């Protein structure tokens, strides 16, 4: 076995022997379907720590022909599929982490030379009698012509060139042209499988890798469930480790991936796997994101404030969904034509969740939300940070039923968050949600919750760990009265939304007066029996 040609199963064994291993071998059934078809070119893009490298190691162990690895897979779900034995240990596998070669080189030319040299060396060791060329493509063609044994080519971190050579267009094109020359329309390729963070770079009419089908955060197709943990998988882990599922959900859920099977739509609630594993093993719900990414990476993009980006970020911190057009994104980290291109990049980096088919984005969970707060705390967004910091006090005032203090706190948030257009109940709702940002520490916050004879504007529902906190129903009014808001809660039976919650419920009516440009608040206690 070589380092790159038929590397064996060692890395996959490490995964299997880990304290937590979630079976993602169903991916193999999907790749088996595509072997030796026009769809044998696969590019999977996901954020860091979403299990991409682990999947590549699994494919290398399964397809590689120099080691019998049946014992590794016999207990996994792939062993039950009809295609299992047909492709097991049947191919020469080339497994490459492109980042390794890029880090050891000073130019794209040096990187590609190094890559070809290493692969040729290993090919010659196994097939010395068949290779007389110093060009990788010809060598692999010669090997296939003599042996009829095809290659499965696995490229991890394939997009590192576009992340590290962000501005070097020529270097990027040389790299793409090399991959096209190596992979496209080659009989020796049974399967070409690439993973990275970014989808394939667009260069107008330059379509070097147009043979690849992309499986991205925007369109995962039928591979949505294999990268990240599904909700069912997380529930099982929470049971095994006696961890609170609601807390796990609040911290690490929020990546919504949709796949279509004919006319049937299936939506997966995907979790960041690295963070879930750390929380399960340690028992501590915390921000594990910053162990692989820092808020500096996020800060770089949101500080651009292209085309109202700042307004969009503030609205998303408040819990809003923002409509975007993903079609103009060039799949790189520099070519931004507007706000939507930056937001699309943040989806691919894992800082936003994309919701299809309404084509909106949100901040996925508490963990990532903290990264936004960390980022803007070091920027000139002091007004937003003040509002977030003040939200602790505002929540205490709500619990203490200090209506005047709540009204004053919302007045302050309104003044400070001046970038928000304040002209209707929607903008009022956004301000209220940002002002109560800290409430997410204890509550599941639901906007426009169906209940009774209408929709409750905002509901605070305590998570299980915080069952001692009061639930809350908040009704918003625009230039009417806070007392009328309380009356509406009762008249339209919005409290029905909390009929399963046993304990005290706070009813809060909040009104904005256009003339005085101030808020008023009325708070009542209601006991659910």
Digit-coded pLDDT (tens) for 357-379 = 899 999 999 999 999 998 888 88
Residue 293: its pLDDT value, please?
Answer: 61
Q: State pLDDT tens for residues 409-424.
A: 999 888 877 666 666 6
Residue 196 per-residue DSSP state: E
Q: Do residues 374 and 295 make contact, with C-beta atoms less than 8 angstroms apart?
A: yes
Mean pLDDT of 387-394: 92
Residue 184: its pLDDT value, please?
Answer: 95
User: What torsion, rounded to 10 degrees, do the Cα atoms 132, 137, 140, 146 define?
Assistant: -70
Residue 204: its pLDDT value, please?
Answer: 58
The sheet with strand 213-215 has its strands ordered as 92-97, 151-156, 189-196, 41-45, 213-215
User: What number of other Cβ atoms are within 10 A of residue 84's Cβ?
Assistant: 20
The backbone region for 401, taken as left when phi is positive above 0, alpha when psi lies in -120 to 50, beta otherwise, is left
What is the CATH T-level fold of the domain 390-528, as seen in this structure?
Trna Endonuclease; Chain: A, domain 1 (3.40.1350)
The SS3 assignment for 98 reads: helix
Mean pLDDT of 83-94: 97
Mean pLDDT of 301-329: 89
Boundaries of every domain in the chain: 10-215, 227-380, 390-528
Residue 291: its pLDDT value, please?
Answer: 58
Poorest-confidence range of 79-93, 211-225, 309-323? 309-323
Mean pLDDT of 44-71: 96
Confidence of residue 529 (pLDDT cuts 50, 70, 90): low
Residues 6+ apart with CB under 8 A from 179: 155, 158, 208, 209
Whether 242 shows a pLDDT value over 90: the answer reads: yes
DSSP assignment of 463-494: -GGGTTSPEEEEEEEESS-HHHHHHHHHHTTG
User: What number of other Cβ atoms are within 10 A of residue 521's Cβ?
Assistant: 24
Confidence of residue 146 (pLDDT cuts 50, 70, 90): very high
Task: State what percent of residues in the chain have pLDDT above 70.
Answer: 96
Q: State pLDDT tens for residues 205-217.
A: 556 799 999 999 9
Residue 136: its pLDDT value, please?
Answer: 96
Kindly give the residue spans of alpha helices, DSSP state H, lying in 148-244. Answer: 160-164, 169-183, 231-241
The SS3 assignment for 394 reads: helix
Same topology, domains 10-215 and 390-528? Answer is: no
Residue 207: its pLDDT value, please?
Answer: 61
**C-alpha span between 524 and 312 (Å, rounded):** 34
Q: How far is CA 7 from CA 3, 21, 103, 441, in A?
A: 5, 21, 20, 46
What is the CATH T-level fold of the domain 10-215, as seen in this structure?
Rossmann fold (3.40.50)
Among 387, 377, 312, 382, which residue's Cα sits nearest to residue 347? 312
Q: State pLDDT tens for residues 276-295.
A: 999 999 999 999 876 556 67
Q: State pLDDT tens for residues 128-140.
A: 999 988 899 999 9
Mean pLDDT of 227-247: 97
Averaged pLDDT of the chain: 91
Kindly give the residue spans of alpha helices, DSSP state H, lying in 229-364. Answer: 231-241, 245-252, 273-282, 295-302, 309-317, 339-349
**C-alpha span between 487 and 406 (Å, rounded):** 19
């Amino acid at each position: 076995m070589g380092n790159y040609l038929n590397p064996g199963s060692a890395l996959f064994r490490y995964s299997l022997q880990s304290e937590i291993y979630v079976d993602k071998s169903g991916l193999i059934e999907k790749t088996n379907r595509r072997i030796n078809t026009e769809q044998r070119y696969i590019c999977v893009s996901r954020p860091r720590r979403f299990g991409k490298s682990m999947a590549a190691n699994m494919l290398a162990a399964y397809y590689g022909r120099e080691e019998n690895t049946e014992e590794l897979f016999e207990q996994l779900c792939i062993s039950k599929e009809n295609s299992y034995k047909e492709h097991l240990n049947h191919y020469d596998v080339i497994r490459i982490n492109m980042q390794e070669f890029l880090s050891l080189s000073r130019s794209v030319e040096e990187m590609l030379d190094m890559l070809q040299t290493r692969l040729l060396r290993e090919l010659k060791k196994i097939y010395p009698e068949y290779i007389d060329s110093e060009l990788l493509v010809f060598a692999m063609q010669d090997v296939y012509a003599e042996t009829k044994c095809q290659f499965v080519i696995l490229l991890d971190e394939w997009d590192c060139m576009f992340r590290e050579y962000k501005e070097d267009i020529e270097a990027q094109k040389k790299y793409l042209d090399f991959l096209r020359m190596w992979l496209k329309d080659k009989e020796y390729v049974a399967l070409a499988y690439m993973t990275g963070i970014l989808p394939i770079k667009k260069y107008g009419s330059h379509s070097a890798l147009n043979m690849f089908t992309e499986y991205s955060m925007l369109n995962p197709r039928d591979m949505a469930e294999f990268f990240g943990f599904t909700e069912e998988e997380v529930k099982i882990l929470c049971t095994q480790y006696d961890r609170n599922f609601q807390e796990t959900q609040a911290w690490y859920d929020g990546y919504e991936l949709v796949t279509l099977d004919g006319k049937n739509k299936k939506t997966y609630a995907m979790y960041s796997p690295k963070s879930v594993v750390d929380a399960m093993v340690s028992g501590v719900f915390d921000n594990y994101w910053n162990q692989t990414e820092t808020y500096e990476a996020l800060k770089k993009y949101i500080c651009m404030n292209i085309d109202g980006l700042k307004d969009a970020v503030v609205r998303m911190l408040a819990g809003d969904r923002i409509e975007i057009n993903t079609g103009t994104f060039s799949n790189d980290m520099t070519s931004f034509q507007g706000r939507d291109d930056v937001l699309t990049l943040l989806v691919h980096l894992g800082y936003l969740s994309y919701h299809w088919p309404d084509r909106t984005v949100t901040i996925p969970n508490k963990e990532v939300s903290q990264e936004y707060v960390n980022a803007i705390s070091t920027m000139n967004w002091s007004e937003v940070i003040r509002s977030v910091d003040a939200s602790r006090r505002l929540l205490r005032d709500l619990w203490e039923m200090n209506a005047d203090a709540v009204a004053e706190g919302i007045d302050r948030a309104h003044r400070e968050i001046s970038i928000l257009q304040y002209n209707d109940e929607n903008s009022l709702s956004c301000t209220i949600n940002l002002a109560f940002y800290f409430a997410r520490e204890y509550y599941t916050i639901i906007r426009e919750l169906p209940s009774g004879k209408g929709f409750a504007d905002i509901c605070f529902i305590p998570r299980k760990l915080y069952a001692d906190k009061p639930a809350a129903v908040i009704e918003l009014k625009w230039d009417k009265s806070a007392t009328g808001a309380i009356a509406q809660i009762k008249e339209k039976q919005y409290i029905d939304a909390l009929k399963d919650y046993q304990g005290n419920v706070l009813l809060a009516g909040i009104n904005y007066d256009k003339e005085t440009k101030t808020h008023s608040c009325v708070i009542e206690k209601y006991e659910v029996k």
